[in-house]
Amino acid sequence: MRGRPRKFVATLTPEEKERLLSVAHAEATRDRRVERARIILLSNSGHRSVDIAEMLSVSLSTVSKVIKRWSELGADRAIEDMHRSGRPPTKKAAEPDKSE
């Protein structure tokens, strides 16, 4: 590898790798979970963060955040959305729009 050494180094179990591969090959290519799974898989295979950002057309800070979450929380929790504070949704997704 060229450049500075990788900042975060973590390993994947075979089960984690299999789950990430199934998420990474999903049809929704711009889904955040898919993107995060691909970042973790590429990082695990030895790619540098700069190269991953370029390959996936995401920012370097996105790659760094995902890798950091992976090293702190594990692969399964790193691909999920974190809880965010704020106003709860006012309309349920299953309810049809009654404005028609």
Region 1-10 average pLDDT: 58
Closest Cα partner for 52 from 43, 44, 61? 43
Look-up: residue for tokens 């180094």?
9
Mean pLDDT value across the chain: 81
Supply the CATH number for residue 74's domain. Answer: 1.10.10
Rounded CA separation 19/9 (Å): 19
| Helical (H) or strand (E) element with 36 | helix 32-44
Question: What does the alpha-carbon distance between residue 31 and residue 18 come to, in Å, rounded to a whole number?
Answer: 18
In a domain, 69, yes or no: yes
Query: Does residue 92 lie in a domain region?
Result: no
Please indicate, yes or no, if residue 89 is contained in any of the structural domains: no
How many structural domains comprise the chain?
1
* Residue 97 C-alpha from the chain's centroid: 32
pTM above 0.95, yes or no: no
Q: Please tell me the total number of residues recorded for the chain in this structure.
A: 100
Mean per-residue pLDDT, 19-45? 84
On whether residue 93 sits in a domain, the answer given is: no
Residue 2 lies inside a defined structural domain of this protein: no
Domain limits at 36? 14-78
* Structural domain includes residue 28: yes
Give domain status of residue 100, yes or no. no
Q: 4 in a domain, yes or no?
A: no
Long-range contacts at 21-28 (CB < 8 A, ≥ 24 apart)? 23/79
Residue 90 has pLDDT above 70, yes or no: yes
Residue 33, both tokens: 């979970």
Between 13 and 28, whose confidence is greater?
13
